[in-house]
Structure 1
Amino acid sequence: MFAPPLLPHALSSPVARWVWWLPLVLFVLGAPLWLQVWEPALFIAINQWCAPVAAPVWTGLSLLGNGWGILGVTAPLLVLAPRLMWGWLCAAPFAILFARTGKFFIESPRPAAVVDNNQMRVVGELLHNVSMPSGHTLTAFAVAAGIFFALTPAQRRRHAWLWLLAAGTGLSRIAVGAHWPGDVAVGASLGLLSGLLGHQLWMRLAPRHWAPRAWSLRLVAALVALAVFHLLTEELDFAENQPAQWVLAAVAVLSLLAFARQSFKAK
């Protein structure tokens, strides 16, 4: 007797109940940060500590918190692992909701509006308003969580670096002078929560959405094509990101070509 093939959902495992407490724990532990107990001294210290590192390193990490940039980075998943692509896409609506809601209701000033600009390194546009939460950090953690929880338990152990990338994105927002450490801490906690909520949505998706000929996956491909347009025609956050944008656009185009070939060959 042959065992039935495993469905994509069977490759993953439900998130343990204790994991759901992590966003709250992170939020509470970050209270001294988002209450600005140690500001502005802590922001200045971190910003200056990051200053010796070349600006393109920090702007490149910030690109991992930009939606168009993420679509470029993850474009190969269309062909290699569609279920992982859906993993972070399911988290995206929650990330957008939390980021927009926070910035709408909380009118907190950014560091450049409070700190003497001669004491800090600013890369890119000088920003003054709607600091809380860090949208780039929130997005990066939502994407990392969405992909991480869509992996099998064995794969998760090998892909812990996803969290390092997300943390690097958060650190970059302080390094470029755009956000307070508290903004980053809240963004990380809400991003993790977005990933967990997105995982619940992902678990309810029918396996047919993974198929190359699925209309839904082709819509995702269209979204990646739109990302190529933005990567080639816009300056995403920083002028320093232009070379990285061209590389991501090339990766996305090659991925789309491979997906088109796979899609039309599939029966």
Structure 2
Amino acid sequence: MLSTSTSPHALASPVAPHSWWWPLVIFVLGTPLWLQTWEPALFVAINQWCAPLAAEFWTGLSLLGNGWGLLAVTAPLLVLAPRLMLAWLCAAPFAVLFARTGKFLIESPRPAAVVDNAQMRVVGELLHNVSMPSGHTLTAFAVASGIYYALTPVQRRQFGWVLMVLAAGAGLSRIAVGAHWPGDVVVGTSLGLLSGLLGHQVWIRLSERQFAPNAKGIQVAAVLVALSVYHLVTEELDFAENHVHQQVLTVVAVLSLLGYVRLVWRTMFQAK
């Protein structure tokens, strides 16, 4: 576990100035995609290329872009690295703002509203509108980049690529299940990275004591994880195929909460 007595900002390396260019570069390079220059042929090709893999594989990856799913996936951070839990939670409000604004302003049709459904694989509900941007992709990259920039230089080299690969997998899954155009995913990637960078600017302004197990921010994170357990147990998160995934994540989240409660109890006992 990373010590909360060490400044979390001293552990993380600074964000290189060129990092701020990545969202813009991806957005610009993806221009032919979000202008749908090669659609619908490109969407159909990717969707069919992904079809041989089981639906459960893609719906599981898609959970990495669902807020409740992400809270459960990252729940162990409550005990192992609270600073990383807060790092992605700082990025989350920006992700929500960008996703909601984009969908409110841009009334773009989903693939199922344009492509002959016999030519594509659709998993889950048949969606027809508010396609731009991909909210799941945006969220996945916001979380991945928020955590990435809070890592130490060594941790970035070791685990940073894993975060981005998982986020990219979440984005690809949105095409695989027939929910989004490639352009939606590219814009979601760009805005997600920007959300992570903006969230990092909030995170570096947090004081050391806000990373302690009994700090208010960590307590709020624990409550959110508890709420995720409720949603995992009582709701179908995006797809019926996610039933087993949700059961596993429920166990992960509950065990993490028990570990967190134990950690807080020990901290309080030691303080006496």
TM-score (norm 1): 0.97
For residues 111-130 of structure 1, the aligned pairs below 5 Å read: 111-130=111-130
Contact 2:47 2:121 in 1 (8 A): yes
**What residue number does 1:203 align with?**
204
State the number of aligned residues: 263
For residues 227-238 of structure 1, the aligned pairs below 5 Å read: 227-238=228-239
Q: Give structure 1 stretches of 5+ with no counterpart.
A: none
Matched, 1:17 2:17: yes
Deviations 1:12-60 (A, max 9, x none): 1220101100000000000000000000000000000000000000000
For residues 74-223 of structure 1, the aligned pairs below 5 Å read: 74-159=74-159, 160-223=161-224
Specify the code of the residue in structure 2 equivalent to 1:191.
G
Contact 1:59 1:176 in 2 (8 A): yes
Q: Secondary structure at the match of 2:190?
A: helix
Q: Secondary structure at the match of 1:150?
A: coil
Matched, 1:53 2:50: no
Deviations 1:47-100 (A, max 9, x none): 000000000000000000000000000000000000000110000000000000
Deviations 1:124-181 (A, max 9, x none): 0000000000000000000000000000111101111110000000000000000000
- For 2:217 and 2:34, locate their aligned partners in 1 and report how far apart those are by CA, in whole Å: 39
Specify the code of the residue in structure 2 equivalent to 1:252.
A
Contact 2:86 2:217 in 1 (8 A): no
Deviation at 1:215, TM superposition (A): 2.3
Deviation at 1:198, TM superposition (A): 0.4
Deviation at 1:6, TM superposition (A): 3.8
Deviation at 1:220, TM superposition (A): 1.1
Specify the code of the residue in structure 2 equivalent to 1:262.
L
Deviations 1:86-129 (A, max 9, x none): 11000000000000000000000000000000000000000000
Specify the code of the residue in structure 2 equivalent to 1:62.
S
Specify the code of the residue in structure 2 equivalent to 1:206.
S
Contact 1:213 1:264 in 2 (8 A): no
Q: Secondary structure at the match of 1:155?
A: helix
Specify the code of the residue in structure 2 equivalent to 1:235.
E
- For 2:153 and 2:33, locate their aligned partners in 1 and report how far apart those are by CA, in whole Å: 32
Q: Give structure 2 stretches of 5+ with no counterpart.
A: none
- For 1:102 and 1:10, locate their aligned partners in 2 and report how far apart those are by CA, in whole Å: 35
Runs of 4+ in 1 over 6 A off after TM superposition: none
Contact 1:63 1:69 in 2 (8 A): yes
Specify the code of the residue in structure 2 equivalent to 1:100.
R
Specify the code of the residue in structure 2 equivalent to 1:35.
L
Aligned identity (percent) is 75
Q: Secondary structure at the match of 2:149?
A: helix
